[in-house]
């Protein structure tokens, strides 16, 4: 287990910001009196991610500015709708996961009522358990599909960036 940093979160945020602005790690290490390796371990992944996101924003804005004004408005509206749909689908998946959890808990409570020596004696109870389990499993599908799509669409720096079609966004076709 690593020992806690002697720098505050605010100081780490300053280091990250300065590094993003181009201040070399060596200089930051001297300024904050810590090892270069400590800075690299702490901020390298985050700085890389920030730069990647910034590059994506610049790319998108540059492409947007190439469009005629009416097309820019249409693209912005479509992007807003896509974010809204994505957010709503994530909420659906979250609620469905909670529903699945609750249904599984109810099924588990019913399983505890079964007499282990005569499990088939109460078929109605078993049917109820089966129905609860099936509903629970069905409730998880939206969330599992969203996880699959997000896993497949994990950002890859090696591929060329291009505009995504709506079918690709919704996972109906592969990019």
Instruction: pLDDT band for 5, please (50, 70, 90 cuts).
Output: confident
Together in a domain, 107 and 145 = yes
Residues 12-24 pLDDT 10s: 999 989 988 889 9
- Residues 108 and 156 reside in one and the same domain: yes
Tell whether the model's pLDDT for residue 150 goes beyond 90.
no
Same domain, 59 and 41: yes
Number of domains in the chain: 2
Mean residue pLDDT of the chain comes to 84
- Domain-embedded: residue 1: no
Other beta carbons within 10 Å of 163? 10
Dist CA 25 CA 40 (whole Å): 7
Q: Is the pLDDT assigned to residue 82 strictly greater than 70?
A: yes
Q: Please give the residue range of the domain that contains residue 104.
A: 69-175
Residue 157: the pLDDT is 44
pLDDT-based confidence at residue 137 (cuts at 50, 70, 90): very high
Q: 96 with 52, same domain?
A: no
How many other CB atoms are found less than 10 A from the CB of residue 131? 13
Do residue 109 and residue 168 come from a single domain? yes
Closest CA to 133 of 113, 99, 110, 104: 104
Q: What is the pLDDT of residue 45?
A: 81
- 47 and 80 housed in the same domain: no
**Overall pTM surpassing 0.85 (yes/no):** no
């Amino acid at each position: 287990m690593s020992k806690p940093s002697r720098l505050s979160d605010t100081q780490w945020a300053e280091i990250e910001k300065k590094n993003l602005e181009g201040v070399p790690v060596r200089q930051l290490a001297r300024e904050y009196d810590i090892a270069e390796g400590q800075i690299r371990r702490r901020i390298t992944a985050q700085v890389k991610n920030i730069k990647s996101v910034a590059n994506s924003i610049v790319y998108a804005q540059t492409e947007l500015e190439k469009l005629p004004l009416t097309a820019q408005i249409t693209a912005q509206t479509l992007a807003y709708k896509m974010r809204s749909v994505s957010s709503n689908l994530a909420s659906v998946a979250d609620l469905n996961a909670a529903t699945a959890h609750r249904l599984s808990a109810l099924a588990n409570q019913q399983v505890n009522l079964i007499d282990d020596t005569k499990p088939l004696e109460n078929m109605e109870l078993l049917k109820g358990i089966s129905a609860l389990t099936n509903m629970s499993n069905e409730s998880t599908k939206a969330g599992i599909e969203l996880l699959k799509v997000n896993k497949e669409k994990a950002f890859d720096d090696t591929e060329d960036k291009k505009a995504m079609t709506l079918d690709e966004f919704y996972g109906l076709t592969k990019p």
